[in-house]
């Protein structure tokens, strides 16, 4: 007995979405696509599993992004503190000579 033909992903998706939208039962979708009910059932299970995995990855990605942003914020705060210290040192070393220049008018 030979290997069954490869069924295009679009055909599988159409059958699964029809079942999930309750537009067709598994039996009806299988008949329409000329495949076994078991095939449609496996496609549906794989579709739902892949969707759940994608959502879980999305949560992990969001958490990773949040950590990245927190680290970036901490670095920006450190840089700001350093700049504030440099400005303060610069002001003190200028000894009150930071007013407007009389030659610039």
Per-residue pLDDT at 101: 65
- HEC string of the chain equals CCCCCCCCHHHHHHHHHHHHCCCCCHHHHHHHHCCCHHHHHHHHHHHHHHHHHHHHHHHHHHHHHHHHHHHHHHHHHHHHHHHHHHHHHHHHHHCCCCCCCCCCC
* Count of domains for the chain: 1
User: 65 is in which domain, residue-wise?
Assistant: 9-92
In a domain, 101, yes or no: no
For the entire predicted model, the pTM comes to 0.53
56-67 pLDDT per residue, tens: 777 777 778 889
Higher-confidence residue of 97 and 101: namely 97
In a domain, 23, yes or no: yes
Average pLDDT, the chain: 88
């Amino acid at each position: 007995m030979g290997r069954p033909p490869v069924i295009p992903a679009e055909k599988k998706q159409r059958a699964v979405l029809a079942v999930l939208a309750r537009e067709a039962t598994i039996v009806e979708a299988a008949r329409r696509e000329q495949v076994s009910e078991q095939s449609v059932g496996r496609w549906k299970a794989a579709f739902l599993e892949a969707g759940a995995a994608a959502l879980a990855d999305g949560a992990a990605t969001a958490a990773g992004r949040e950590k990245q942003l927190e680290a970036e914020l901490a670095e920006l705060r450190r840089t700001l503190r350093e700049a504030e210290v440099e400005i303060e040192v610069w002001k003190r070393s200028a000894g009150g000579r930071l007013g407007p220049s009389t030659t610039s008018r």
